[in-house]
């Protein structure tokens, strides 16, 4: 049987989360197809066809899919899913939004956010903010799965060859919702979930302006900037900076937590990082229990010191 | 407009869970249970609708063991009007909960189902999306702002790249994110008043729904522990360790 991967994209490029999802798919079967649903997305289809491990791309290109409205996209996935043993999507907001809607249409109990594939029907997934790991077996005939991208390597983006692209016909606008606007955070820095180094600030930063101190270090290290929920709630930085159980999950080579106490919900999003550094003035802060390197210091002296020491 | 708010009883978010020695799950005995924090945000928003004259009745619905009555009482004390408990001791999966909720929605005909984007026990993030599919309603997930229009809702969604605004035709299923609001505490008089509010108790059988699990939990284990490492006193020392020992710079 073949495995279907839902390709995450913005009609222009394939998102990095797709590459990790393809790797998970190749662990389940050798015939991996990708589904591109979008508008004016021929470039995406041809880029996806080059991903190592993909043997075919199915593409549906029509205006009702321009903004990826789930009410319109879900029927397309549902229509072809029954021909596959597994349907995989990244556990990004794209996959989380779409796949359960498809699962219900197919009467399937989705398995969310897997971190390991044990066999074709058995998976490991974190529960309780990663404080426990559940080994679960799905009994559904088609298995719908979202994949935690940080625990699967990225597939090679350009394998040097191109899988065939097959066009499918569009299914029309369900007229249930419409797109109004995007307010996307623009940044020249690497994406949070794929960056090799992440520097995150918490409530201890005290203001949005003070995050500039972290940005300067990020630019020296080629790092992404993240934040705790408290920093986002306080309006210091936008929502898409949030790392944690209910934000983004990151696992960079180096994670620097600055003025973050280390609540379980925050740890859930970063404790699989290779090396964790904590800078906090409270030596009792729980973040030090998971940090490989701890520096008990006032961040307002430590961060400028770190910046000049990096020169 | 009638509003349905599903609420779930979970281990309190401030408690560090313990995995049972026999690997059968996490310890639920003698552990503080609370309403899932995202459900609280959904209840709060429904009450704000009512206070703004946009909603006339709020029904909280829980599916789970008998003790879920407490969770419903919580919602009633915050300001919901009545409760429905779909009582079962089976560990319900999102698909089953969505089916039970579909049956309730078909009976009650609300204009909106407002619910948490995820429950902090199993972190599935599925039930609202599934319910929307079963009803063939519009869906807004991870919502941090809701504006009620005549025949639609304008919602702001927290997505990976930032924010997205979409217009949802009514009726809708909307799942809420952390920044939608800050839930109120129930006042003592309201807690007293809530005791007299009605809770209807049903079973999955009453609704004609099979809730047999599809996914078997084979084993629950502790994740590998991370140990506290070394302390440094200066930026030079930190950079030295990162370069020469951890080799990540
Ligand atoms: C349902 C739910 C979901 C949640 N999801 C998430 C999530 O996804 N991500 C997340 O991060 N949180 C999440 N939280 C919130 C979480 O519980 C914590 O409240 C939050 O992580 C705290 O953020 P913080 O560490 O920045 O703030 P605090 O806990 O207030 O810690 C601030 C830290 O800064 C230190 N500090 C202050 N000033 C200085 C200084 N000058 N120099 C050095 N150190 C200083 C303090 O010592 C303290 O340790 C969630 C909570 C709930 C209930």
DSSP-derived secondary structure letter, B26 = B
Report the candidate in A10, A12, A116 with the shortest Cα–Cα distance to residue B160.
A10
Q: Which of B16, B121, B154 sits opposite A127 (nearest CB)?
A: B121
d(CA B125, CA B123): 6
DSSP A204-259: GG-SSTTHHHHHHHHHHHT-EEEE-HHHHHTTSS-GGGBBSTTSB----SEEEEES
- Burial of A311 by CB count in 10 Å (0-12 exposed, 13-18 middle, 19+ buried)? exposed
Contact between residue B75 and residue B5 where contact means Cβ atoms under 8 Å apart: yes
DSSP helix/strand/coil, A9: strand
Q: How much is the pLDDT for A217?
A: 98
d(CA A268, CA A58): 35
Percent of chain B with pLDDT over 90: 98
Q: Is A130 close to B94, i.e. CB distance below 8 A?
A: no
- Model pLDDT for residues B187-235, shown as the tens digit of each residue: 999 999 999 999 999 999 999 999 999 999 999 999 998 888 999 999 9
- Domain assignment present for residue B171? The answer is yes
Name the closest residue on chain B to residue A10, using Cα atoms: B161
Work out the mean pLDDT of chain B and round it to a whole number. Answer: 97
- Domain assignment present for residue B224? The answer is yes
Q: How much is the pLDDT for A230?
A: 98
| Ligand 1 contacts CB of residue A245 (under 6 A) | yes
Counting the structural domains of chain B, the total is 1
Provide the domain limits for residue B226: 2-244
Q: What is the CATH number of the domain that holds B152?
A: 3.40.50.620
Residue B18 has pLDDT above 90, yes or no: yes
Average confidence (pLDDT) over B141-146: 98
- Model pLDDT for residues B21-53, shown as the tens digit of each residue: 999 999 999 999 999 999 999 999 999 999 999
- Model pLDDT for residues B49-90, shown as the tens digit of each residue: 999 999 999 999 999 999 999 999 999 999 999 999 999 999
Residues forming beta bridges with residue A143, ordered by sequence position: A86
Q: Is B95 close to A176, i.e. CB distance below 8 A?
A: no
DSSP helix/strand/coil, A203: helix
- Domain assignment present for residue B249? The answer is no
Q: Torsion-angle region of residue A172: left (phi > 0), alpha (psi -120 to 50) or beta?
A: left
Ligand 1 pocket test: pick from A244, A289, A305 the residue with the most ligand atoms within 8 Å of its Cβ. Answer: A244
Instruction: Answer with the residue of higher pLDDT: B125 or B228.
Output: B125
d(CA B124, CA B95): 11
Q: How much is the pLDDT for A298?
A: 98
Q: How much is the pLDDT for B232?
A: 98
Low-confidence ranges of chain A (pLDDT < 70): none
Q: How much is the pLDDT for B227?
A: 86
Contact between residue A218 and residue A225 where contact means Cβ atoms under 8 Å apart: yes
A293 contact residues in B (CB cutoff 8 A): 229-232, 238, 241-242, 246
The torsion angle over the Cα atoms of residues A67, A68, A71 and A72, rounded to 10 degrees, is 90
CB count within 10 Å of CB A179 equals 13
d(CA B96, CA A104): 10
d(CA A309, CA B21): 48
Q: Is B217 on the interface with A (CB under 8 A)?
A: yes
- Model pLDDT for residues A33-85, shown as the tens digit of each residue: 999 999 999 999 999 999 999 999 999 999 999 999 999 999 999 999 999 99
Q: How much is the pLDDT for A1?
A: 77
Report the candidate in A194, A160, A147 with the shortest Cα–Cα distance to residue A4.
A147
Q: Is A276 close to B226, i.e. CB distance below 8 A?
A: yes
To the nearest whole Å, the CA of B153 is away from the closest chain A CA by 9
Element (H, E) at B146: strand B138-148
CA of A56 to the centre of ligand 1 (A): 45
CA of A219 to the centre of ligand 1 (A): 24
Pairing of strands B138-148, B152-159: antiparallel
What does the angle CA B229 – CA B230 – CA B233 come to, to the nearest 5 degrees?
Answer: 145
């Amino acid at each position: 049987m073949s495995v279907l991967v839902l390709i995450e994209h913005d009609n222009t490029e394939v998102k990095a989360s797709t590459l990790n999802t393809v790797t998970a798919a190749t662990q389940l079967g050798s015939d991996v197809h990708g589904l591109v649903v979008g508008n004016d997305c021929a470039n995406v289809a041809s880029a996806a066809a080059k991903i190592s491990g993909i043997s075919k791309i199915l593409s549906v290109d029509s205006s009702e899919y321009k903004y990826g409205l789930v009410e319109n996209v879900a029927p397309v996935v549902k229509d072809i899913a029954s021909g596959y043993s597994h349907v995989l999507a990244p556990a990004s907001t794209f996959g989380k939004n779409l796949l359960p809607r498809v699962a219900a249409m197919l009467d399937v109990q989705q398995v969310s956010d897997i971190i390991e594939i044990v066999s074709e029907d058995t998976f490991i997934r974190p529960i309780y903010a990663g404080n426990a790991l559940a080994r679960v077996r799905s009994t559904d005939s088609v298995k719908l799965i979202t994949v935690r991208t940080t625990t699967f390597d990225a597939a090679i983006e350009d394998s040097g060859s191109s899988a065939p692209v097959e066009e499918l016909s569009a299914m029309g606008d369900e007229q249930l919702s419409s797109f109004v606007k995007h307010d996307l955070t623009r940044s020249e820095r690497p994406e949070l979930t794929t960056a090799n180094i992440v520097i995150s600030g918490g409530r201890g930063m005290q203001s949005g302006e003070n995050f500039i101190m972290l940005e300067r270090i990020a630019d020296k290290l080629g790092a992404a900037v993240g934040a705790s929920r408290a920093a986002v709630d306080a309006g210091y930085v936008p929502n898409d900076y949030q790392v944690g159980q209910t934000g983004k999950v990151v696992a960079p080579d180096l994670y620097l937590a600055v003025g973050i106490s280390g609540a379980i919900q925050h740890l859930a999003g970063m404790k699989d990082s290779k090396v964790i550094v904590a800078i906090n003035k409270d030596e009792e802060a729980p973040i030090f229990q998971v940090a490989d390197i701890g520096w008990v210091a006032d961040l307002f002296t430590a961060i400028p010191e770190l910046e000049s020491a990096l020169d | 407009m009638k509003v349905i708010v599903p609420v779930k009883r979970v281990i309190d978010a401030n408690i560090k869970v313990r995995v049972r020695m026999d690997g059968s799950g996490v310890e639920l005995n003698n552990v503080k249970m609370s309403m899932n924090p995202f459900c609280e945000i959904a209840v709060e928003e429904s009450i704000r609708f009512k206070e703004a004259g946009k909603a006339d009745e709020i029904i909280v619905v829980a599916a789970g063991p008998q003790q879920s009555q407490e969770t419903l009482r919580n919602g009633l004390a915050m300001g919901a009007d009545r409760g429905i408990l779909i009582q079962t001791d089976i560990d319900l999966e999102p698909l089953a909960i969505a089916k039970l909720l579909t049956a309730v929605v078909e009976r009650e005909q609300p204009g909106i189902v407002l619910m948490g984007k995820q429950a902090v026990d199993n972190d599935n993030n599925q039930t609202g999306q599934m319910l929307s599919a079963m009803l063939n309603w519009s869906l807004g997930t991870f919502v941090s702002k809701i504006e009620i229009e005549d025949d639609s809702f304008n919602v702001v969604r927290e997505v990976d790249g930032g924010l997205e605004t979409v217009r949802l035709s009514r009726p809708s299923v909307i799942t809420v994110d952390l920044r939608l609001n800050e839930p109120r505490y129930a006042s003592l008089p309201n807690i007293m008043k809530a005791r007299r509010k009605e809770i209807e108790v049903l079973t999955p059988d009453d609704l004609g729904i099979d809730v047999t699990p599809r996914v078997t939990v084979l084993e629950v284990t502790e994740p590998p522990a991370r140990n506290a490492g070394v302390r440094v006193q200066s930026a030079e020392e930190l950079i030295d360790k990162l370069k020469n020992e951890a080799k990540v710079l």
